Each structure stands twice: as C-alpha cells, then as structure tokens.
Amino acid sequence: MADVSAESPATPEPSLHRVMGPGLLLLFVVGDILGTGIYALTGRVAAEVGGAVWVPFVVAFLVALVTGLSYLELVTKYPHAAGAALYTHKAFGIHFLTFMIAFAVLSSGITSAATASRAFAANFAEAFEFEVGTGIAITAVALAFMAVVAAINLRGVSEGVKLNVLLTCVELTGLLIVIGIGLWALGFGNGDFGRITEFQTGERSALGGVIVATTLAFYAMVGFEDSVNMAEECKEPTRIFPKVLLTGLFVTGTIYVLVSITSVALVPADQLGEGDTPLLKVVEVGAPGFPTHIFAFITMFAVANSALINMLMASRLLYGMARQGVVPRAFGQVNARRRTPQIAIAFTTLLALGLIAFVGEVPELGGTTALLLLAVFTVVNVAVLVLRRDPVAHKHFRTPTALPVVGALSCGFLVTPLTDRNPEQYLIAGVLLAIGVVLWLVNQLAIRHQRTEPATAATPTPEP
C-alpha cells in the first residue's frame, strides 16, 4: 500500500481556512445535491417509467445512501481534500488509476459547471425577458458568469459558502413552492393520485423501465461526494460529517419524492415528459394565476449554485492531489492572505471557460456525468474494504461490511450496458477518459522535470 501523507509538500504552504461548521456544511450538501437536476429531470424520468416516477428516485437515493456511508468511513478516517482520488491512492497505490479517478471526478465537476453556466445564460435571458440568441451572446453571458464564480472562489471559501447558503435557500424555496402548490391543488381535487402507481414503460418490463429511469434519476442524487473535497475547510470533520451528510441525503431524498409525486398527480406522465420545464407545467396546472416567470429566476439561481459548488469542489480536488504529489505541486499553492488554492482555481476556471467557449451543450451530458461518477463510486466502495487493513489512531465512522459490497455491485451494474443506456453516453465518457490518458502522460513528464530541478539546484558549484 502506498504510504502517502496528506501534508507532505517540499515547501511548507499555509493550510486551508477551516470555516465550515455543521450548518454551512449541511447547506453545502443540500445545495449540491438539489442543484439543477430536479428542475429538469422529473419529466425525463416520467417519460421512461410513467406515473411511478418516484420509484427511480427512491432507488437512486438508496444507491447514493449506501455509497454515502462508504464515503463517511473514508472521510472520517482520512479528513483531507481530494476525496475519491485520495482513497483510491491509499487503497491501491497505482498513480495511473489515482489520476484517472481524479480526472473523472474533476471533469464531471467542470463539465457540469460549464453546462450550468450556459443554462444560467439562457435563464438570464428569460428572466429579464430579452432575447440574447443561442450563439455568441449566450456564450458571452456564460463566460462572464464563470468569471464571477472564479472571483468568488479566489476571494475565499467563506464567501463562496455564504453565497451557497443564499442560493440553496432560493432553490429550496422553489421546490417547496412546487410541493405547496401541488398539495394545495390536490386538496381541491385537481389531480389524480392514482397515477403514482402506474408504470408506462413501453416495450420494457416495469423493472427494465425503473432501471433505465434510475440511471437518469441518479444524476439528481450526485453531489454528496463533493463535500468530502471540502474536508480540510471544515471544523472537526471527523465528528460532524456523519450526521451532516446523512441528514442532507434524507432531506433531499424526501424533497425529490414529494416533488415527483405531486408533479405526476397534477400532470400526466406523457405531458410531464415533454419539454425542458416540467416543474413549470406543474405550477401552471396547480396555480394558473401564479407568476410563472419567477421560475426563470429560481432556475437561474439553482444552476448558479451548481456552478459555484462544482468549481469549489474541482479546485479543492486538484489542490488535494497536488499535496499528494499525484499532480505537480504548483497546483497546491495557497494564497497566504486568502487561504485559497489560487493556482488550482485558475487552472480549473480556464478549463471551464474552454468548455463554455468551444464545446457548448453536449447531448446526454447528465447521463454521462452520472456514468463517470458511478464508475468512481464502484472504486470507492471497493477501497473501503481494502483500507480496512490500514488502521488509524483516531476514532472514525465505520459502515457495516455488507454495505460497501452492495454499493460496489449496484454502482457497477448501473455502469454496464445492461441498463440500456444511450450509447452516446459511453462515447462521450470514452472521449473524456482518452483525454485523461493524454493528460496523465503530460503530467508524468512535468513531474519528472519537477523532480530534476532540486537535484540540479543542489549541485555544489566548484570553488574557483
């Protein structure tokens, strides 16, 4: 097993600033899981499974819960930044595997943030009721938004987390409005609760439809893993993480089930699956007089929160890997005044800006992101069992041994073609991982060059 220290840079760097208590961490977890998924995915899930749209969300929640317990054991055992990549490195000690896991998580976060930025630009236009077009203007607004996110990230995690509190409250309010309107309308008999037990899966069996729908619904549950990359900026992470993460998962899981049930009870599944604004349809049916344009603002804030959290996560992941020596140590440089990983923030922001400017919207992005993270979760669940051979001095959370096994099998199954995923998701994931291989080779050259510099500098100069 690789003996890797979490704090072993050649030149001492200031540590990250521990500003997140249990309240801020809970809002971070809830805000990250809620994100933009529920605002857009309810309709797509309904299109696959019919009125029983809540079932895939429950299955996705259970898979996330089992994997979340594995993350809890590892983050309380090793309370450092880098998350899944750190656990992979400690468990297997294979630098290539560690790098690819880090790259999969990093790319999913940056790609999600870039996509959220473009969604922010589109909703910005709708919220302020002006036409910006679908080309250069949308890209310009998205680039400007990402620059603002970078500035907040550079200023400090305290500012970023406080903004996350505001944005999380806004997106949570939007979902509570949907639930409230739905329950109010249903109370007056303007809906049909009988739909929630109907399976409409076409040529597939009910089980097949649930499996396909779960691969979509799982995208709405990812995000809990981002919080482990903030471990070095949490107060007493070993103590607070278990209660906070489990509370966040149960809160968001409950909200998802309530939103999906009220949605399909008010709007038939086939209609809910049409278009990209399923919750707006629910509000229009349940409360025709409600000013529906307000949901453009709510969605705008929701996607802004997703972008902010993903960029916070990506920069801390890169910082953590630099402190482990898996990527060049320059990425671990911390601003002495702001206590933020400035080089990591700059690099991840440049990648996001490149995606916004040159890639644009990628079809099946949500499914591809979930595909990559499910592969990562499979490895993490296995790593829990391997690292049982590596005891630590302090007390930590320990998940029942059977659960990581269940987590590895369930996540591994959801990655396979047996789930009837769109083949385009595998193609996109393959291209991303191929880019990762190229970057790993470049990284190896950079590390070798970095290692030769001290030796050269240490060579004594002959006396004249």
- pLDDT tens digits along 272-313: 877 666 887 888 888 888 887 777 788 788 778 788 878 887
* pLDDT at residue 363 greater than cutoff 50: no
CATH number for the domain including 108?
1.20.1740.10
Task: Report d(CA 305, CA 18) in Å as an integer.
Answer: 21
pLDDT over 80 at 263, yes or no: yes
Residues 325, 322: Cα–Cα separation, whole Å: 5
Tell me which DSSP letter residue 463 carries: P
For residue 7, tell me if it sits in a domain: no
Mean pLDDT of the chain: 80
Would 118 be classed as within a structural domain?
Answer: yes
Question: Which stretch, 36-45, 117-126, 202-211, has highest mean pLDDT?
Answer: 202-211
151 or 138, greater pLDDT:
151
Provide the residue range defining the domain that includes 165.
22-452
The pLDDT value given to residue 453: 63
Q: Tell me the HSE value of 454 on the side-chain side, using a 13 A CA sphere.
A: 6
The answer to whether residue 464 sits within a structural domain is no
Other CB atoms within a 10 A radius of the CB of residue 311 amount to: 27
Lowest mean pLDDT among 96-105, 386-395, 431-440: 431-440
Residue carrying the six token digits 């309530």: 258
Q: State the average pLDDT over residues 254-260.
A: 91
Task: Look at residue 171 and tell me if it is in a domain.
Answer: yes
Q: Most confidently modeled of 114-123, 200-209, 315-324?
A: 200-209
Mean of the pLDDT values across residues 317-330? 74
Backbone dihedral angles phi then psi of residue 158, each to the nearest 5 degrees? -60, -45
Confidence of residue 61 (pLDDT cuts 50, 70, 90): very high
Using DSSP, state whether 153 is helix, strand or coil: helix
Residue 222 φ then ψ, to 5°: -70, 155
Within a 10 A sphere around the Cβ of 206, how many other Cβ atoms?
14
Phi, psi of 462 (to 5 degrees): -55, 140
In a domain, 342, yes or no: yes
Q: Judge whether 13 lies within some domain.
A: no
Q: Rounded to an integer, what distance in angstroms lies between the CA atom of residue 148 and that of residue 385?
A: 41
Q: Which of 165-174, 233-242, 388-397, 406-415 has the lowest mean pLDDT?
A: 233-242
pLDDT digits (tens, 9 = 90+) for 402-444: 999 999 999 999 999 988 888 888 887 888 788 878 878 877 8
pLDDT of residue 10: 45
Q: Please check whether residue 5 lies inside any domain of the structure.
A: no
pLDDT of residue 73: 92
The number of domains in the chain is 1
Q: Is residue 457 a part of any domain in this protein? A: no
